[in-house]
Amino acid sequence: MPDGPERLRDASFRTVAAGVISVLLLSACGSSASGHPIAADDVATTDISATDPATTTPTDTRPTADTRDSGVDPTLLDTGDYPTTARPDFGMVRDITEGREVAGWRLAEALVFPHQVDNKLRALVIGTGMMYTDGGLSLTAAMDGPAASAAKVDLVAAATTTRVVSNADGNPQVGVRDLAITLLQYPDAATAERAAQEIHAAGRTTIGSSEQSIGGLPDTLVHSAVTTDGSLTSAAAVTPHGRFVLHARASTTPDRQSAIAPAITRLVDLQLPLLDRFEPIEKADLARLPIDEDQLLTLTLPGAETGARGTRTVHGPRGYLHEQDDVDTLDLLERTGTDRVATDASTVFRAEDAEAAAELATLLREHALDAGAADIPSPPNLPDTFCFALPGPAMPYYTCLVQRGRFVGEVNRFEGLADVHRAISAQYLILGSAQ
């Protein structure tokens, strides 16, 4: 049986391999003249310079459901050393720890995006924006240490996301304004209620912490603190809701501290309905969850088993985007009925049908071009493919998209045009296994 998901993910690899949605941070940061939480559609886009025109050849080839397989002779495709057939079923998780990770993949689908609370909170900080689901240890990225220790007692699953504001260059600006949102699921409502009290009490041990309350949120426990140098005000809010506990940590500069309570109120208003629609995972099922119940992960290119480890995930569209820099493609995924996204050394999207998949490939390309990417040639003998490049600090970042049936495959490489061509050609053949 394959190893299944690794317990820890390598953040630097995920940044490179997760997909085109994950490389558009510099062009997707929202903006507002107001310092207060703003509407989610108030967005400004900053362009990135395109790659050197001398190294790129624009193309407008658009795959459609009618032409996705036209004229493709598999024997003429150069796939290099990449595998060209789907992998075997990944089977069941090996233990409860892996079960919590898979459960966390699912729970992430019910997680609010920070930019829905404050539209400027769009920048992903590596090491804080991933799905930490190892039973609590890595929850310290989104919760204070004592609170994280209290949270892991009797924990079934967890999902967390953290976003910060960007500076004028579009890079994450840490220590100015951020929001960390964590969902915790417990076996029953009584356990969740007790956990909420203990998490709050543990957080109150922070030096300088003071008890607070927010009008209209009688069930939310809140404490706040100011850094010793007075540069940052933080508030932690803990809200039990059935089997779940919502933990939020909001930080900002003292001149904006009045915006914290409205932000937490908006978060709670957005989050609780999502939890009401989420079907909890039973603790007894953690040790027997399928890793890849829809067999979508088997269609991705395999990542390295050593070095960059733990790259495999299977999410719904919301859970997938919580791990990406660019969250502005959610509407594209929803428009095309994309219900599952699997990632490893490539990404595979499952759309509603072949027509929707063709539309998704087109929309993803257009989104990339709007963010400053430039079209580059498709692989030889595989014309119905979108390929484009984004400028990098030392070399271009190459991406190719191919649609086959209801699936869209995506590969991303720094290694050069020939390598990304071989990878997407192999991905095309692997997707044929699902037809």
Q: What is the pLDDT of residue 138?
A: 54
Q: What is the pLDDT of residue 139?
A: 64
Q: What is the pLDDT of residue 429?
A: 97
- Where is the domain boundary, 247, 264, 284? 284
C-alpha R_g of the chain: 22
Are 155 and 279 contained in the same domain?
yes
Residue 106 lies in a domain: yes
Structure tokens belonging to residue 1: 């049986």
Question: Does residue 181 or residue 45 have the better pLDDT?
Answer: 181
Residue 388 lies in a domain: yes
Q: How large is the average pLDDT for residues 264-288?
A: 96
Domain that holds residue 27: 11-91+290-434
Residue 341 lies in a domain: yes
Are 114 and 190 contained in the same domain?
yes
Burial 63-82, CB ≥16 within 10 A → b, else e? bebeebeeebeeeebebeeb
Say yes or no to pLDDT of 42 above 70.
no
Are 70 and 104 contained in the same domain?
no
Q: How confident is the model at residue 140 (pLDDT cuts 50, 70, 90)?
A: low
Contacts of 276 (CB under 8 A, 6+ apart): 242
Contacts of 219 (CB under 8 A, 6+ apart): 239, 240, 241
Are 265 and 157 contained in the same domain?
yes
| Beta strands 385-390; 397-404: pairing state | antiparallel
What type of residue sits at position 387? C
Q: How large is the average pLDDT for residues 333-361?
A: 97
pLDDT in tens, 159-175: 989 999 988 877 888 88
Are 100 and 87 contained in the same domain?
no
Number of domains observed in the structure of the chain: 2
Residue 19 lies in a domain: yes
The mean pLDDT value of the chain amounts to 81
Q: How confident is the model at residue 326 (pLDDT cuts 50, 70, 90)?
A: confident
pLDDT in tens, 67-85: 344 579 999 999 999 999 9
Least confident among 45-49, 185-189, 233-237, 326-330: 45-49
Residue 404 lies in a domain: yes
Are 209 and 315 contained in the same domain?
no
The domain that holds 115 is classified in CATH as 3.40.1000
How far does Cα 253 stand from its chain's mean position?
Answer: 27
How far apart (Å, rounded) are the C-alpha atoms in residues 162 and 122? 9
Are 108 and 74 contained in the same domain?
no
Question: Does residue 152 or residue 131 have the better pLDDT?
Answer: 152
Other beta carbons within 10 Å of 34? 11
Q: What is the pLDDT of residue 141?
A: 65
Is the C-alpha dihedral spanning 193, 288, 161, 119 positive or negative?
negative
Residue 4 lies in a domain: no
The Cα angle at residue 402 between residues 397 and 408, in degrees rounded to 5: 105
Burial class of residue 272 (count of CB atoms within 10 Å of its CB; 0-12, 13-18, 19+): middle
Q: How confident is the model at residue 62 (pLDDT cuts 50, 70, 90)?
A: very low
DSSP 286: G
- Where is the domain boundary, 236, 254, 284? 284
Q: What is the pLDDT of residue 333?
A: 97
Is the C-alpha dihedral spanning 412, 386, 297, 273 positive or negative?
positive
Q: What is the pLDDT of residue 192?
A: 98
Question: Does residue 298 or residue 384 have the better pLDDT?
Answer: 298
Q: How confident is the model at residue 377 (pLDDT cuts 50, 70, 90)?
A: very high
Are 188 and 267 contained in the same domain?
yes
Question: Does residue 105 or residue 2 have the better pLDDT?
Answer: 105
Q: What is the pTM of this model?
A: 0.80
In sequence order, what are the beta bridge partners of 426? none
DSSP per-residue codes, 299-335:
GSPP--SSSS----EEE-HHHHHTTSS--TTHHHHHH
Are 216 and 331 contained in the same domain?
no
Residue 421 lies in a domain: yes
